[in-house]
Structure 1
Amino acid sequence: MLQWRNESDGIVAKILNIPIFCTTQNAARLGATVPEITSLLPTDETAKTEVDKTAFSMMVPELQAQLPTNPTSALSVIIVGIETHICVTQTTLDLLAAGHRVYILADGVSSCNAGERPIALNRLAREGAIVTTSESLLFELIRDAKDANFKAIAGLVKETKDETKAAVETFCKL
């Protein structure tokens, strides 16, 4: 979903009021998160939405401290990121083990070794994650064309349809 943005409407997460959290794997050794991602993060000083980590799961204490603490209400979490077979997998397994509902956007995850990606996505689906596409999830979230956010979401879908189509077609080949 990080690709879904335009200048007039902002990003989908802002339109739908979805919080964004980002972790960077060992920035000192592997480099910082790219500006295309960090520019999407909220600038609210009270919440640390970007966390540097060495663990492969993003469920580190610094990020967990930002999540709601009510143990009886499960979160719905949307995952995008790199190294599907490592960080995405371990994060998803941790979230599932904690009782959360996890959506993995197939057109929003990758691996440096393309063959690892479909194996990881199949495993995560068997474990209980919902593997879907960004467009499918967007319309699932708004549910009805009468939703107040429909026009903004439909505009973003139309504006990014070529990029989304290319991403889905590329990933379906892997």
Structure 2
Amino acid sequence: MPNVYRSLLFHLQSPTTPAHSHNMANIGRLSTKGSVLLLCDMQEKFRPNIFQFDNIVSNAARLLQASRILGIPPILTEQYPKGLGPTVPELGAGDLTAHAKTSFTMMIEQVEKELQTLENPKQFILCGIEAHACIACTAYDLLEKGMEVHIVADAVSSRSQTDRLFALSRLKQSGAFLTTTEAVLLQLVQDAKHPNFKEIQKLMIHPSPDTGLLAFFSAL
């Protein structure tokens, strides 16, 4: 087994597994019912500085397309759009209301109100930037409330790979589930007989872009 895969396996099987994962009711099985997709701050001014920005947005765009097919509500935020610009067009979120914020967490008043109209979902699929800032703060807020948080590792990033690495490691310690774009798509449909499977399958014709995670996890 190549060293990079051995290191990755060691890291993912390390004893930082969330305590709740031993409770069969909370193993992190995704469901289309009661889930929300959170799209965090994928804005124009971040483009030149975020590691793997284009691929991160590409993966997030697949998740957004899947959420529309499967009826999972998406929620979009923008960090200080006056200074950092609008959400990038390739995300495909032009029809969504972008909630402007200055706080690092996405859990601002407008988002909380939107969640109430959705009858307070319990599962959150989180992607965007930056991993150690707005993604982390959002996840901590949700975890403190007892919510289930799924961080899509190949759809989150930071300017620094070091910050991204330790943010994901830290979030795992706090009880978030780390996953990937394609894993989310497959877990949501569960069965090739699912009425929307063929539409979801089309989103996976090309493998998700590599965002440097393998080399990255071998560092731990």
Measured against the shorter chain, the TM-score band is 0.7 to 0.9
Counterpart pick for 2:71 among 4, 9, 17: 17
Deviation at 1:41, TM superposition (A): 4.9
Cα RMSD (Å) of the superposition? Answer: 2.1
Q: Which amino acid aligns with 1:148?
A: P
Paired residue for 1:171? 213
Q: When the two structures are superposed, what TM-score results if normalisation uses the length of structure 2?
A: 0.66
Taking the aligned partners of 1:74 and 1:166, their CA distance within structure 2 comes to: 30
Higher mean C-alpha displacement, 10-19 vs 86-95: 10-19
Structure 1 match to 2:103: 55
User: Residues 153-172 of structure 1: matches in 2 within 5 Å?
Assistant: 153-158=200-205, 160-161=206-207, 164-167=208-211, 170-172=212-214
Unpaired runs of at least 5, structure 1:
44-48
Q: Which residue of 2 aligns with 1:34?
A: 88
Q: Which runs of 4+ in 1 moved over 4 A?
A: none
Identify if the C-alpha distance between structure 1 residues 77 and 41 changes in structure 2 by more than 3 Å, giving closer, same or farther: farther
Contact 1:21 1:41 in 2 (8 A): no
SS at match of 1:131: strand
Structure ranking higher on relative contact order (CA contacts 8 Å, 6+ apart)? 2
Three-state SS of the structure 2 residue aligned to 1:146 is coil
**1:11: Cα distance to partner?**
1.4
Instruction: Kindly state the Cα deviation for residue 42 of structure 1 after the two structures are TM-superposed.
Output: 3.9
After superposition, where does 1:18-167 map in structure 2 within 5 Å?
Answer: 18-37=72-91, 39-42=92-95, 49-68=97-116, 74-158=121-205, 160-161=206-207, 164-167=208-211
CA distance in 1, matches of 2:129, 2:182: 19
Q: Which letter maps to 2:148?
A: R
How far off is 1:51 after superposition? 0.5
Instruction: Measure, in 2, the Cα distance between the counterparts of 1:21 and 1:74.
Output: 12
Shift of 1:137: 1.3
What is the rounded CA distance, in whole Å, between the counterparts of 1:70 and 1:12 in structure 2? 18
Displacement, 1:140?
Answer: 0.9
Using the alignment, how far apart are the partners of 1:41 and 1:32 within structure 2?
10
Q: Number of matched residues?
A: 158
Which runs of 5 or more structure 2 residues have no equivalent in the other structure? 1-58
Deviation at 1:165, TM superposition (A): 4.2
